[in-house]
Amino acid sequence: MEYRTSNALSRELGDALRQARRRAKVRTKTLLEELSWSAGKLSKLEIGMRGTSPDDVARLAGHIHVDIGTYDKIMALAHEPNSGHYVRPHGVAMPDSLRMLILHEQMAKTIRSYQTIVIPGLLQTADYAQALMGDGLDADLAVNDRMTRQGIFDKPLPPKARFFIYEAALHRMIGGPQVMYEQMLQLLFRGGVRLIPFAAALPRSLSSPFTFMTFDDHFPLTYVECGSVSLFLDTFEATKATQQSCNDLARVALSEEQSRSVFAKWADRFDRLREAEDVPGGDAVA
């Protein structure tokens, strides 16, 4: 496929400008007259299909009267070099409010997600996510953002998603047996989920989690979360390497049917554990 002139950075900038303009409720016709721009120029800029100078971006931001915080964020994007790899900071294990992530998940045609020690965020129950993130306002907001992200699967044309989970994530008790039981049911009844068993010989390409998104009109995007920062890559080299990793995952993973059988066994185990917790002096379940 021949991709149009666009990259993850230009789309994030365009999205920021579009949101700011809509919040300002400025009449588009008036704005275009003041800037001496065509409607096509503004439209292409807001969908990331056209580049422009930081001076033009500053003029647009000024005409829609953005606040200083929004202005600084927009201008930081306008001045950021198009390197093909973009670092975005966030709270530890809380990337869910990142516009670059949200925007591209909403646009994605396909999503491939690989996780090694936790359930992928797009598959997590609210209780599992809450147990991971802890208590407090920031954690509550992050959980809400994560549940909102999952809304992409409720669209008329949702992305075709495939999730690969290393077996270690099932052994890690998050939030207790009740939370894990409900999480196993979520995996059991959600299509497109495949388990990587401990017995699988993992190539080096599968040492770290990642998400790989493809689009109808844009070059693919690789997303890697690293503690308190996330890295987005849309270079040819990164795409080629991640595509190979996706092929490796498909090769070593159990089938969906085999994976569902494993999830069912774990659901049964956690079900018995939660029942044992309700019985005073109940025996531990192996």
Query: In this predicted model, what pLDDT tens digit does every residue of 244-284 receive, in sequence order?
Result: 999 999 999 999 999 999 999 999 999 999 999 877 655 55
Query: Could you please report the per-residue DSSP string of 192-222?
Result: SEEEE-TTS---GGGSS-EEEEE-SSS--EE
Same domain, 48 and 160: no
d(CA 147, CA 30): 38
Residue after which a domain boundary falls, among 79, 108, 123: 79
The domain tally of the chain equals: 2
Residues 144-179: pLDDT tens digits? 999 999 999 999 999 999 999 999 999 999 999 999
Which residues have C-beta within 8 Å of that of residue 237, sequence separation ≥ 6?
Answer: none
Residue after which a domain boundary falls, among 30, 62, 79: 79
Residues 50-91: pLDDT tens digits? 778 999 999 999 999 999 999 999 999 999 999 999 999 999
Nearest in space to 118 (alpha carbons), one of 197, 192, 209: 209
Same domain, 53 and 92: no
Residue 196 located in a structural domain: yes
pTM equals 0.92
Same domain, 143 and 266: yes
Residue after which a domain boundary falls, among 79, 103, 121: 79
Same domain, 91 and 21: no
Same domain, 101 and 145: yes
Note whether 147 and 129 are within 8 A (CB).
yes
Residue 213 located in a structural domain: yes
DSSP 3-state of 252:
helix
For residue 50, give its domain range.
Answer: 8-79
Confidence of residue 1 (pLDDT cuts 50, 70, 90): very low
d(CA 158, CA 195): 22
Q: How much is the pLDDT for 280?
A: 66
CATH of residue 58: 1.10.260.40
Same domain, 192 and 100: yes
Same domain, 63 and 178: no
Residue 2 located in a structural domain: no
CATH of residue 230: 3.30.870
Nearest in space to 108 (alpha carbons), one of 245, 232, 218, 244: 218
Residues 200-219: pLDDT tens digits? 999 988 999 999 999 999 99
Burial 73-101 (b: 16+ CB within 10 A, else e): bbbebbeeeeebebebebeebbbbbbbbb
Residue 141 located in a structural domain: yes
Same domain, 185 and 272: yes
Gyration radius from the chain CA atoms: 22
